Structure 1
Amino acid sequence: MRLARWSSGFIAQSKRLPRVELVEISVQNRDERAEEVAARFLGTDSGCEGGTGGSGPSPEKTQGGRGGGQSGMKGRWRPKAKLSPGPEAEPNFDPPPRDQKGVLAMGKASYGQLGRGDKGLAETSGDPIGPCGVDGQIVAASCGFDHTAIVLPESLLLCGRNNRGQCGRPTSGRRSEKDLPDFSEDVALPQIPHGLARHDKVKSVACGGDHTLVLMDNREVWACGDNSAGQLALGTGAPKMSSSLLPCATLQSAESVAAGFKHSAAICKERLYLWGANNQGQLGLGRRQNSVHEPVLVDLGAPVRSCALGRWHSLALTVTSVVFSFGWGRFGVLGQGDFTDHHSPVRVELPAPVYQIASGAVHCGAICSPKRQCFMWGRGSLGRSGMGSEANVMTPRAVPGLEGLAALALGGDFSAAVSAVGEWWLWGKNEEGQLGFGSDRENRLVPTRSAALTGFRHIALGDCHALAFR
Structure 2
Amino acid sequence: MSTKRKRAPAKKAGGKRGKRKEESDIDSDLSDRSDAENATQPDEVLIAGHGDALDDPTPLPQELLKSLIKPAGQLLIFGSVNWDSVGKRDPKAIQKVRPNLYIPHRFTEQKVRLAVSGCVSAHSVLVGEDGKAMTFGRNQFGQLGLDNTNTKDIPTVVPALENMNVISAACGRNHTLFLTDTGTVYACGDNRSGQCGVGNLQPQIVTPTRINYRGPPIIKVGCGAEFSVILDIKGGLHSFGLPEYGQLGHNTDGKYFKTSTKLCFNHETSPKRVVLYIEKSKDGHVSPVDVTEIVDFNCGQNHTVAIDTKKRAFSWGFGGFGRLGHAEQKDEMVPRLIKYFDSQSRGVRSVHCGSTYSLALTEHNGLFLFGQTKRSGEANMYPKPIQDLAGWNVQHIAAGFTSIILSADDSVIAWGGSPTYGELGIGEMQKSSTTPKEVNKLANMKILGLSMGMCHTLCIAQNDTPEQETKLETFDEFEP
Scaled to the shorter chain, the TM-score interval is 0.7 to 0.9
Q: 1:357 aligns with which of 327, 351, 376?
A: 351
- Give runs of aligned pairs for residues 72-221 of structure 1, distance below 5 A: 73-76=27-30, 102-111=74-83, 122-132=98-108, 134-136=109-111, 138-144=112-118, 145-154=121-130, 155-171=132-148, 185-197=150-162, 199-221=163-185
1:426 to 414, 425, 429: 414
Equivalent position SS for 1:148: strand
Q: Does the 8 Å CA contact 2:240/2:272 hold for their aligned counterparts?
A: yes
1:117-158: per-residue Cα shift (whole Å, max 9, x none)? xxx9615211211223x412x221211310011011221110
> The residue matched to 1:437 in structure 2 has which SS?
coil
In 1: Cα distance, 2:386 partner to 2:361 partner: 11
Q: What is the deviation of 1:194?
A: 3.6
Residues 1:141 and 1:380: Cα distance change in structure 2 (over 3 Å): closer
What SS does the corresponding residue of 1:74 show, helix, strand or coil?
helix
Match of 2:280 in 1: none
Superposed CA deviations along residues 2-56 of structure 1, whole A, max 9, x for unmatched, are xxxxxxxxxxxxxxxxxxxxxxxxxxxxxxxxxxxxxxxxxxxxxxxxxxxxx99
SS at match of 1:139: strand
Contact 2:397 2:450 in 1 (8 A): no
* Rounded Cα–Cα distance in structure 2 between residues aligned with 1:246 and 1:222: 5
Give the secondary structure class of the aligned counterpart of 2:249: coil
Q: Is the 8 A contact 1:141 1:204 kept in 2?
A: no
**Unaligned regions of 5+ residues in structure 1, if any?**
1-54, 79-86, 115-119, 173-184, 384-389
Identity, % of aligned pairs? 22
Deviation at 1:196, TM superposition (A): 1.7
Supply the distance in 2 between the matched residues of 1:328 and 1:463 (Cα, whole angstroms): 19
Q: Is the Cα–Cα contact under 8 Å of residues 304 and 316 in structure 2 kept in the other structure?
A: yes
Corresponding residue number in structure 1 for 2:453: 462
- Give yes or no for the alignment of 1:265 onto 2:242: no
What is the identity, as a one-letter code, of the residue corresponding to 1:320?
K
Scaled by the length of structure 2, the TM-score of the pair is 0.71
Contact 1:253 1:268 in 2 (8 A): yes
Does 1:401 find its partner at 2:391?
no
Aligned residues: 370
Q: Does the C-alpha gap of structure 1 residues 306 and 195 become closer, same or farther in structure 2, counting only changes over 3 Å?
A: same
Q: Counterpart in 1 of 2:242?
A: 277
Q: How does 1:181-330 map to 2 (within 5 A)?
A: 185-197=150-162, 199-236=163-200, 238-251=201-214, 252-269=216-233, 270-289=235-254, 290=265, 291-299=267-275, 300=277, 301-330=291-320
Contact 1:126 1:441 in 2 (8 A): no
CA deviations 1:60-93 (Å, max 9, x no partner) are: 35669995465xx323479xxxxxxxx9x99xxx
Across the aligned residues of Structure 1 and Structure 2, the Cα RMSD in angstroms comes to 3.1
2:318 equivalent to 1:338: no
Residue 277 of structure 1, CA deviation: 0.8
Q: 2:90 aligns to what?
A: none
The answer on whether the counterparts of 1:254 and 1:266 sit within 8 Å (CA) in structure 2 is: yes
> Cα distance, 1:208 vs. partner?
1.1
Residues 1:56 and 1:327: Cα distance change in structure 2 (over 3 Å) = farther
Q: Say which SS state the counterpart of residue 346 (structure 2) adopts.
A: coil
Give 1:112 deviation, angstroms: 7.6
AA partner of residue 446 (structure 1): T
**Distance in 1 separating the partners of 2:297 and 2:351:** 7
Instruction: Report the CA distance shift for 1:263/1:66 in structure 2 as closer, same or farther (over 3 A).
Output: closer
Q: What's the offset of the Cα at 1:212?
A: 0.8
Q: 1:189 is matched by which residue type in structure 2?
A: I
Distance 1:307 1:170 in 2: 30
Unaligned runs of 5+ in 2: 1-10, 33-63, 87-95, 255-264, 278-290, 462-480
